[in-house]
């Protein structure tokens, strides 16, 4: 059974990658937009987007493992989860809080 062109096993893999890389993206952005749940959502969407872009652009499979005769890619969903989560956390931080990260790692208000 396929959902949006991905098997249930692939979607479960994306969820696992989302747990790790969504949290890592929040840590790199320096802001937690909505806590763990939103990190997983951002990570899952990024993992799905990374796998979709890799499939559409016919990018090479860098690392995959086989489970029950099905090859599951790891690198492109992980890259997608990390980049998408990082960018969305920065966008949420900028629009919702009005804080722009500075080079020193601390935050400065835009109005200051």
- The tens digit of pLDDT for each residue in 36-61 reads 777 788 788 888 888 888 888 988 88
75 C-beta neighbours (distance < 10 Å), count: 16
**Domain-embedded: residue 111:** no
Q: Over range 97-104, report the average pLDDT.
A: 60
pLDDT digits (tens, 9 = 90+) for 10-21: 778 778 878 887
| Domain annotation covers residue 109 | no
Q: How many domains does the chain have?
A: 1
Structural domain includes residue 68: yes
Residue 65: what pLDDT?
A: 74
The C-alpha atoms of residue 15 and residue 47 are separated, in whole angstroms, by: 8
Would 80 be classed as within a structural domain? yes
Give the range of the structural domain holding residue 16, as residue numbers without chain letter: 2-101
Judge whether 108 lies within some domain.
Answer: no
Any domain includes 95: yes
* Residue 29, Cβ density class (10 Å: 0-12 exposed, 13-18 middle, ≥19 buried): buried
């Amino acid at each position: 059974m396929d959902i949006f062109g991905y098997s249930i096993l692939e979607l479960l893999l994306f969820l696992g990658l989302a747990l790790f890389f969504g949290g890592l993206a929040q840590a790199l952005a320096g802001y937690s937009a909505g806590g763990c749940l939103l990190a997983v959502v951002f990570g899952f969407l990024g993992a799905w987007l990374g796998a979709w872009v890799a499939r559409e652009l016919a990018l090479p499979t860098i690392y995959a493992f086989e489970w029950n005769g099905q090859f599951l890619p790891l690198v492109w969903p992980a890259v997608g989860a990390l980049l998408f989560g990082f960018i969305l956390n920065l966008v949420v931080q900028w629009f919702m809080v009005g804080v722009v990260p500075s080079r020193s790692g601390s935050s400065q208000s835009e109005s200051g």
